[in-house]
């Protein structure tokens, strides 16, 4: 079968070889060879000595691991074989064409020479997530990342009194004036005081009578430092941001102060001192902005999610204190625990509630209504703060999850003894329990005893492993990436359920196998590697894969927040570069491989 295009032209169109000079591409084409394969013909098999890199020019290949489990189906412009080459190992996969296929075969020594001589090629084949070095100072950020979008506006004919009422109700220091022709001007508290109070302008007059006409403005691509310089030089406290004739935002001195001071500690402090859930929600409403700031400052994903989760923990403890103040002191000791992403300290810009209550065994039936009211108070407060109710009702407001310690012990014993599908689901969630507020002695030995008992039950362990394989990485289509086929998120990847969750599930299995205490997923993987549950190479691969998937998920949410959209977990792979798509696919392949190892009963040490 002839190549669909000339060999040199083909290589010049494939990343990362498209970064090479014409002379280097010519030299590469001279040493590469095009080979044809028929369906079912083995390209290489598990245990073969790795000698070449393969690039698919046309056709399709099936990739399976040593157990025969399919890892992925690869189409044109994808490559394979580099894993074994770069590690100096024999092949750990079998590759078989599913149709007539033409492969470009690159000798190993050529690949190594390219990696040594060309940084873009080296970066492409470094499957680790590179550390972020683009630390950004506030003053160098584009103003569109800081401005308040959709600021309060009114028409020029609006009465001054009405505009003042709006400003007072919204607790803002300015209101912009716009009409059908676009942005007209701005009225600030200084205008109200100086022209209405001091000079006696009639409050019934239109705001156009006191507004600053054609004020100084900037475009959304200006830097924050431009705003600072303008404010200092001209002595103003408000800078409208316009694009053409349209008002798109505003930056005030308060915005600058808040952004400069905003940190997770600042939000934690505000939430911890809030008088009620409504006041608390004004702090938690800034979590998306904090997420943007933390990610763009180059923080690692586990640091970002830990800091975001700390705010939820603080909100929960503050609501518990407010509930006790409203309901009176608790009749017996209790412990509020988080599970799910909050329990694992992995919250992002999209979070629901997953929580429960463990009560002292001294609790009586007559005292149970107190804790029902406590749970309702806290859960409603969390919902007000943006932590929406759990769709599966995994909350302390459900009487099933508000029980004495003895009942919780029976729950875990029952789930381990009878590992049906529901028990597996509940056990998986409950393995992520983490105390938030109350008497921690109620949880001191529950987790460790449960892990020890569960790890001894081979049937439970087998069911736990099977449960961990329900969420599969999205491999198979679209250059190796299988997108959602229908519905609202058609042609997108679910970076939560098909990206992060498979690794979270593997982390739980390793925790069970090694009776490990960490709850955070990355900490679990590191502990499993240290304890020998995960091999050094397998653990390193899985950590790198998890880092890339989790980081890409956060970066996707940041992009949405900056665009003024609500963050979610659905990514269109068409928005990724070939480089990003290839690395994401490789990360999914690693996760699939580790799932296959666990599912085959070989663990992750083979």
For the chain, the structural domain boundaries read 7-125, 138-259, 262-444, 469-599
Does the pLDDT of residue 295 top 80, yes or no? yes
Does the pLDDT of residue 377 top 60, yes or no? yes
Does the pLDDT of residue 280 top 80, yes or no? yes
Rounded distance between C-alpha atoms, residue 88 and residue 362, angstroms = 62
pLDDT in tens, 519-529: 999 999 999 99
Q: Would you place residue 134 in the very low, low, confident or very high pLDDT band (cuts 50, 70, 90)? A: very low
Whether 434 and 343 have beta carbons less than 8 Å apart is answered as: yes
Q: What are phi and psi of 385, to 5 degrees?
A: -85, 0
Looking at residue 127, its pLDDT comes to 59
169-194 exposure pattern, b = at least 16 Cβ within 10 A, e = fewer: eeebebbbbbeeeebbbbbbbebbee
> DSSP assignment of 236-293, as one string?
-SEEEEEETTEEEEEEEHHHHHHHHH-SHHHHHHHHHT-SSHHHHHHHHTTHHHHHHH
| Sheet with 153-154, edge to edge strand ranges | 153-154, 174-179, 182-188, 212-213
Token couple for 264: 């997770």
Stated pTM of the model: 0.72
Rounded distance between C-alpha atoms, residue 535 and residue 87, angstroms = 15
Domain 469-599 in CATH 2.40.440? The answer is: no
Tell me what the mean pLDDT of segment 315-327 comes to: 96
Whether 70 and 47 have beta carbons less than 8 Å apart is answered as: no
CATH tag for 262-444 (out of 3.40.920.10, 3.40.50.2300, 3.30.460.10, 3.40.1260.10): 3.30.460.10
Looking at residue 71, its pLDDT comes to 73
Does the pLDDT of residue 261 top 80, yes or no? no
Token couple for 354: 């997953």
pLDDT in tens, 203-243: 999 999 999 998 989 988 888 878 887 887 778 889 999 98
Rounded distance between C-alpha atoms, residue 508 and residue 373, angstroms = 33
What's the CATH number for 7-125? 2.60.120.10
Beta bridge partners of 356: 337
Tell me what the mean pLDDT of segment 258-264 comes to: 63
What architecture (CATH level 2) is domain 138-259? Roll (3.10)
Tell me what the mean pLDDT of segment 478-501 comes to: 88
Residue linked to tokens 């064409």: 97
Looking at residue 149, its pLDDT comes to 85
Least trusted range by pLDDT, from 37-46, 120-129, 402-411, 579-588: 120-129
Least trusted range by pLDDT, from 131-140, 190-199, 214-223: 131-140
Q: C-alpha distances in angstroms, 538 versus 46, 139, 596?
A: 17, 42, 12
State the average pLDDT for the chain.
88
Query: Rounded to 10 degrees, what is the CA torsion of 571, 573, 575, 580?
Result: 110
Looking at residue 42, its pLDDT comes to 93
Rounded distance between C-alpha atoms, residue 124 and residue 329, angstroms = 60
Same fold, 262-444 and 469-599: no
Q: C-alpha distances in angstroms, 86 versus 78, 82, 92, 161, 350?
A: 17, 6, 13, 72, 38
Whether 62 and 101 have beta carbons less than 8 Å apart is answered as: no
Q: Would you place residue 603 in the very low, low, confident or very high pLDDT band (cuts 50, 70, 90)? A: low
Q: Is 425 exposed, middle or buried (0-12, 13-18, 19+ CB in 10 A)?
A: middle
Does the pLDDT of residue 298 top 90, yes or no? no
Q: Which residue has the higher pLDDT, 395 or 604?
A: 395
pLDDT in tens, 152-161: 999 999 999 9
Neighbours of 325 (CB within 10 A): 9
Tell me what the mean pLDDT of segment 449-464 comes to: 87
């Amino acid at each position: 079968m002839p190549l669909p295009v000339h060999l040199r032209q083909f290589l010049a169109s494939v990343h990362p070889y498209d970064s090479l000079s014409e002379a280097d591409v010519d030299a590469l084409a001279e040493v590469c060879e095009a080979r044809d394969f028929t369906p079912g013909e083995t390209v290489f098999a598990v245990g073969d000595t790795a000698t070449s890199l393969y690039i698919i020019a046309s056709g399709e290949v099936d990739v399976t691991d040593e157990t025969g489990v399919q890892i992925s189906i690869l189409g044109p412009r994808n490559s394979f074989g580099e894993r074994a080459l770069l590690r100096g190992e024999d092949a750990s996969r079998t590759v078989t064409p599913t149709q007539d296929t033409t492969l470009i075969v690159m000798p190993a020594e050529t690949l190594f020479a390219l990696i040594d001589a060309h940084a873009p090629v080296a970066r492409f084949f470094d499957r680790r997530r590179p550390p972020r070095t683009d630390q950004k100072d506030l003053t160098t950020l584009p103003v569109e990342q800081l401005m308040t979008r959709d600021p309060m506006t009114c028409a020029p004919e609006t009465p001054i009194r009405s505009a003042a009422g709006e400003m007072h109700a919204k607790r803002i220091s300015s209101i912009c004036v716009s009409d059908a022709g676009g942005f007209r001007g701005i009225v600030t508290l200084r205008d109200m005081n100086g022209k209405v109070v001091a000079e006696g302008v009639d409050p019934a007059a239109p705001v156009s009578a006191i507004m600053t006409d054609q004020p100084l403005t900037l475009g959304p691509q200006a830097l924050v430092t431009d705003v600072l310089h303008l404010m200092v030089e001209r002595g103003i406290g408000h800078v409208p941001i316009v694009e053409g004739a349209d008002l798109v935002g505003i930056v005030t001195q308060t915005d600058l102060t808040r952004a400069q001071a905003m940190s997770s500690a600042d939000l934690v402090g505000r939430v911890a001192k809030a008088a009620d859930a409504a006041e608390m929600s004004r702090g938690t409403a800034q979590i998306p902005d904090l997420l943007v700031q933390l990610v763009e400052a180059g923080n690692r994903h586990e640091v970002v999610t830990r800091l975001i989760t700390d705010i939820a923990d603080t909100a929960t403890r503050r609501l518990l204190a407010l509930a006790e103040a409203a309901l009176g002191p608790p009749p017996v000791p209790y412990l509020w625990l988080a599970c799910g992403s909050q329990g694992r300290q992995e919250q992002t810009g999209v979070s629901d509630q997953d929580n429960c209550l463990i009560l002292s065994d001294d609790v009586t039936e007559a005292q149970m209504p107190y804790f029902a009211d406590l749970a309702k108070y806290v859960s409603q407060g969390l919902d007000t703060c943006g932590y929406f109710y759990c769709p599966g009702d995994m909350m302390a407001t459900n009487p099933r999850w508000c029980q004495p310690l003895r009942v919780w012990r029976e729950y875990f014993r029952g789930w381990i003894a009878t590992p049906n599908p529901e028990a597996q689901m509940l056990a998986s969630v409950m393995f992520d329990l983490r105390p938030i507020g109350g008497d921690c002695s109620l949880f001191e030995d529950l987790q460790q005893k449960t892990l020890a008992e569960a790890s001894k039950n081979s049937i439970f362990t087998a069911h736990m492993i099977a449960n961990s394989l329900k969420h599969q990485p999205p491999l198979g289509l679209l250059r190796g990436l299988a997108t959602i086929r229908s519905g609202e998120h058609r042609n997108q990847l679910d970076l939560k359920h098909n990206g992060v969750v498979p690794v979270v599930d593997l982390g739980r299995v390793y925790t069970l196998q090694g009776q490990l205490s960490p709850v955070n997923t990355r900490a679990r993987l590191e502990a499993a590697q240290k304890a020998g549950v995960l091999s050094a190479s397998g653990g390193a691969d899985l950590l790198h894969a998890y880092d890339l998937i989790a980081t890409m998920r956060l970066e996707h949410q940041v992009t949405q927040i900056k665009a003024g959209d609500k963050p979610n977990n659905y990514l269109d792979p068409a928005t990724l570069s070939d480089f990003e798509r290839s690395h994401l696919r490789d990360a999914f392949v690693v996760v699939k491989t580790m799932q296959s190892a666990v599912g085959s009963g070989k663990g992750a040490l083979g």
